[in-house]
Structure 1
């Protein structure tokens, strides 16, 4: 017998869940020569542009566009971003969900817009990826191109259909 009152259901639906996950997006930015854009973080790792999805009903693609602009000064349209996978692992008891996105840039030069984090951005051939890679960036690159045999922390992968029709 259900003893839940409509008021209880409404308050449960309006109450935020306990925080137990972090949601971010890693953006593979390709140039017309097929090179990938990587930034050298001051910690010593190389990483893709990306970051947290804002808790403002921001879409994953919109977060990718915003993070790319904030971190590199590069501008792309939301419609040019393809979100292709969701990666999930756990760090220090927190579920980390990284959405993987890819976009091809026809022109533009990346700028260091956050010098307290990134010292340089560089275009890198897939046959010459530097190391060490930041864990989530390595996971995104490995999900995109498993043939590259990129070392990365283990993660669960869910393929995302760009069209929503299973293709």
Structure 2
């Protein structure tokens, strides 16, 4: 079967209208079972993470990149386990947050973006500070439902078991 440009539907070459934002939040767990949280300048606590670049970057690659950019911690892409997708709506835009998990034996995170994060802190999951950034709270609630983390309503799709 041959195709020519005259017969190729134009909808395959046009980008879709933007109606969603795609990000990733990284649960970084150390050898003691603690997780890494950053104190945002706005007053909330959050997981490392950020937007997935529209450059054919995978979610796992985005997680490793954001972790490196925000904390100085370097992990290979194959050390990242994407375990869930969380979906809510903010301001009429679908917000899709991919939940990722990285385990490190020990690490010393650095404040590399002081205009955003004032400090990184290792915290026992049972002793989460507040308030949490909404997407981080939603991801933590999917990761460990037993923690009963308060968060805005969201849909989630589990990709891997919670203890992954």
For normalisation by structure 1, the TM-score amounts to: 0.91
Q: CA deviation at 1:108?
A: 2.2
Look up the match of 1:52.
Answer: 51
Paired with 2:104 and 2:76, the residues of 1 have a C-alpha distance of: 10
Aligned runs of 1:14-163 on 2, under 5 Å?
14-161=13-160
Structure-1 separation of matches of 2:119 and 2:81 = 25
Per-residue deviation, residues 35-82 of structure 1 (Å, max 9, x unmatched): 000000000000000000000010000000000000000001111111
- Using the alignment, how far apart are the partners of 2:106 and 2:91 within structure 1? 39
CA distance in 2, matches of 1:43, 1:104: 27
Give ranges in structure 1 of 5+ residues lacking alignment.
Answer: 163-167
Aligned partners of 1:49 and 1:6: how far apart in 2? 44
Stretches (4+) displaced over 4 A: none
- The alpha-carbon deviation at position 27 of structure 1 amounts to 0.1
Deviations 1:63-116 (A, max 9, x none): 000000000000011111110000100000000000000010123200000000
TM-score, normalising length: structure 2: 0.92
Residues 5-59 of structure 1: CA deviation (Å, up to 9, x unaligned): 9747432111001111000000000000000000000000000000000000100
Number of matched pairs: 158
| Comparing 151-160 and 64-73, the one that deviates more | 151-160
CA distance in 2, matches of 1:117, 1:48: 13
Q: 3-state DSSP class of the match of 1:137?
A: helix
CA pair 83-23 structure 1, distance change in 2 beyond 3 A: same
